[in-house]
Structure 1
Amino acid sequence: MLQHILSGWKNYLSKSAVTEIVAQQRASICATCPHAKQGKILAFIKDSLKEAEGAYCAACHCPLSAKVRSNDICPENKW
């Protein structure tokens, strides 16, 4: 799972057009999911791991900004 989240952070930083379209579609699904929560998460900021405030998935505990851009699947099979 860590590999998928690292690829998600890489995609988040590179912001390719295709990745962003898929991420937006996934984020709209996550926005209505009861597992989407707001709180403190660990995030890569300028090449270091920091605690940040943001959205995360309570089912897998991944930050949504990286999860929706990863090659992983939704733990609830919604995408």
Structure 2
Amino acid sequence: MINPINILKGWFRSYFYTSEEAKTLSEERLEVCRNCPFAVEKSFLKFRENEAVEEKTKACEKCGCPIIEKSLVEEEKCPANLWKK
């Protein structure tokens, strides 16, 4: 299930600030997602340089979350239980 607060937190971190710990955790999680059968291409509305743009990116088919943003939030879990942390 999508947690809007965590996704907003992930979007904020992907655009403005990400701690080194969050970057490391995200990289570990994204490595798992690269080989996951539930990672599908999906379009999301994102804001880039003061304009809204529809952007294709990977999302989790099980929960619908954009994977990059989800991976940046420590509290988030993989719905297929594939992430170690």
Is 2:41 the counterpart of 1:38?
Answer: yes
Question: 1:1-49 CA distances to partner (integer Å, 9 max, x unpaired)?
Answer: 1011111112223122111100000000111110101131233434665
SS at match of 2:68: helix
- How many pairs are equivalent? 79
Q: TM-score, normalised by structure 1?
A: 0.83
SS at match of 1:10: helix
CA distance in 2: counterparts of 1:22 and 1:47, whole angstroms: 29
Gaps of 5+ in 2: none
CA distance in 1: counterparts of 2:25 and 2:51, whole angstroms: 26
Q: For residue 8 of structure 1, what is the aligned residue in structure 2?
A: 10
Largest Rg, 1 or 2: 2
